[in-house]
Structure 1
Amino acid sequence: MASMAAILVSGVLLGSLYALMASGLSVVWTTLGVFNFAHGALMMIGAYVAWTVSEPAGLGLIPGIVAGTAAAALCGVLIEYLLVRPFYGSRHMLLATCMTTLAGMIVLEKGAQIVWGARLKQLPRLVGGDVSIFGATISAHEALIVVLAPVVLLALWRFTVVTNRGRSLRAVGQNQDAAALIGIDVPVAFATAFGLSAALAGLTGALLGSIRFITPEMGSGPLVKAMIVVIFGGLGSLGATAGAAYVIGLLEAVLVFWVGLYWTPFILFVLMIVVLVFRPNGLFGRS
């Protein structure tokens, strides 16, 4: 029972982190129909800026997290303006943006190494102490992430459903020409999608920086998992992405326990391929 509780708690924690990361990718895909391969690097930027504001500047962790989220959002808007916008309307937009955002990822990672160095860094925890759940013990900071992730996802969903700006993102994602005809500024919607997506990545990085070490490449692994989640759940649906994130998190926790850390990524990729063979629109996507 103790092992099952540990697996369940670990899976929910992983799912919470993957949901925050993957929801950002889902927002960009839903609005523009492209993948942002610099998404993991934006998570790293959020962690580094949070560390800079919190530790060297001495302003505290909460201002650091806010600054890291804002810095990542700004970087996301710049990526959209410099690396994605020039290819709007191009027949090869998907391929071109894959290449340019990959280049952006490399620039951000190498730039971070120049600015902050290669030495490992880590943020303090938002909340001290430990929490016991069904006999499994995790830090209070990790428990806060588990609680915070659904709140952030619910707020994101409410934004896309209730606010005019959020509804404009959905309209642009459904039909750009029709959205422009009814007065929606499509380029602004694209920039908003990238900024919102990057803010989620920066928040995730700032929260993760208290659990793992901050390095220039810290976003590479989570980016791969986030892409698996988005494809596994079904492209273009925030709810499907959130559901798939927790499924993948629980699967990963079970696989790490039973087959080990080495084989887990391989099995996850195989499962994703199997799902796509039988359900091309994803596990929770519409057939």
Structure 2
Amino acid sequence: MDALLATLVSGLVLGSLYALMSSGLSLVWTTLGVFNFSHGALMMVGAFVAWTVSEILGLGPVTGILSGTLAAGLIGIIIERLLVRPFYSNRNMLLITAMTTLAAMVILERGAQMIWGARLKQLPRLIPGEVQILGTTISAHEALLIVLAPLILVALWRFTVMTNRGRSLRAVGQNQDSAALLGIDVPVAFALAFGISAALAGLTGALLGSIRFITPTMGSEPLTKAMIVVIFGGLGNLGATAGAAYLIGFIEAFLIFGLGLYWTPFVLFLLMILVLLFRPNGVFGGK
């Protein structure tokens, strides 16, 4: 029973991380219809900027995390402006933007290695100490992550549903031409979606930097997991993405407990392939 409860808590932590990682990817896909392969690198940028502000400038972890979130959001807007927007009218936009965002990922990773070096770094935890959840001891930082992730997801949902700017993103995602006829500035909506997505990536990376080591390639594995979550839940659906994130988190925790770290990625990718074969719109997606 103790092992079961510990696995459940571990799945909750993983699900919270995956929900933050994948929500930004889902937002970009919903609005632009493209996949941003630089998402993981933006997580890394958020973590490095947060470490620099917190440790080098000595302004504390909270200021560091806010700075990392803002820096990643600004870089996301720049990527959209320089590497995505020029190809909106191209019929091969999906393929071209996959290539350009992959190029952005490589540039950001190599740039981070030149600026910060390859030595491992780590942020201090926002909240020191440990807490008990279901009889399992976890760090207070991880407990904060469990609480913070749903709050951010609800805030993102309220923004897209209850504000004019958020509804404009949904309108652009449904039909760009009709949205433009209604007076919505489509390029601004695209930039906003990319900026919010990148800011979420930076925030996730900064929070992750207190749990794992910060390296120039730290975003590669989270990007892969976020891709699995988005496909598993259903492309273009924020609610389904959040549900899939927690489901994948619990599945991964139980797979690690039962099969070990070596076989877990294999099973997760197998599940993704099965979902694509039998539920192309995702487990929670409609027809």
Q: TM-score, normalised by structure 2?
A: 0.99
* Structure 1 unaligned spans of 5+: none
- Structure 2: which amino acid aligns with 1:285? G
Query: Counterpart of 2:28 in 1: which secondary structure?
Result: helix
Q: Secondary structure at the match of 2:56?
A: coil
- TM-superposed CA distance for 1:127, in Å, is 0.4
CA deviations over 1:164-214 (Å, ceiling 9, x no partner): 110000000000000000100000000000000000000000000000000
Counterpart of 1:232 in structure 2: which amino acid? F
1:70-121 deviations in whole A, cap 9, x for unaligned? 0000000000001100100111000000000000000000000000011100
For residue 60 of structure 1, report the CA deviation from its aligned partner. Answer: 0.6
Deviates more, 1:167-176 or 1:273-282: 273-282
CA distance in 2, matches of 1:264, 1:134: 24
Residues 16-165 of structure 1 aligned to structure 2 (within 5 Å): 16-165=16-165
- Structure-2 separation of matches of 1:182 and 1:239: 26
Paired position in structure 2 for 1:286: 286
Deviation at 1:8, TM superposition (A): 0.3
RMSD value, Cα: 0.5
Amino acid at match of 1:76: G
Match of 2:183 in 1: 183
Distance 2:134 2:86 in 1: 53
Indicate the residue corresponding to 2:241 in structure 1. Answer: 241
- Match of 2:137, SS? strand
Q: CA deviation at 1:278?
A: 1.5
Q: Residue 221 of structure 1 corresponds to which residue in structure 2? A: 221
- Aligned-partner SS, 1:138: strand
Per-residue deviation, 1:132:
1.1
Specify the code of the residue in structure 2 equivalent to 1:205.
G
Amino acid at match of 1:236: G
CA distance in 2, matches of 1:266, 1:88: 35
Q: Give, in angstroms, the shift of residue 273 of structure 1.
A: 1.2
Q: CA deviation at 1:24?
A: 0.2
Residue matched to 1:15? 15
Structure 2 residue identity aligned to 1:35:
F
Letter in 1 for 2:56: P
Shift of 1:61: 0.7
Deviations 1:215-236 (A, max 9, x none): 0000000000000000000001
TM-superposed deviation, 1:275: 1.8
- Partner Cα distance (1:33, 1:188) in 2: 15
SS at match of 2:7: helix
- 1:138 maps to a residue whose letter is I
| Residues 128-183 of structure 1: per-residue CA shift (max 9 Å, x gap) | 11111122110000000000000000000000011111000000000000000010
- Tell me if 1:196 matches 2:196: yes
When normalised by structure 1's length, the TM-score is 0.99
Q: Deviation string for 1:8-49 (max 9, x for gaps)?
A: 000010000000010000000000000000000000000000
Q: How many residues align?
A: 287
CA distance in 2, matches of 1:227, 1:192: 21
Gaps of 5+ in 2: none
SS at match of 1:55: helix
Report the equivalent of 1:255: 255
Whole-Å separation in 2 of the counterparts to 1:274 and 1:185 = 39
Query: What amino acid is the match of 2:144?
Result: L
What amino acid is the match of 2:184?
A: I
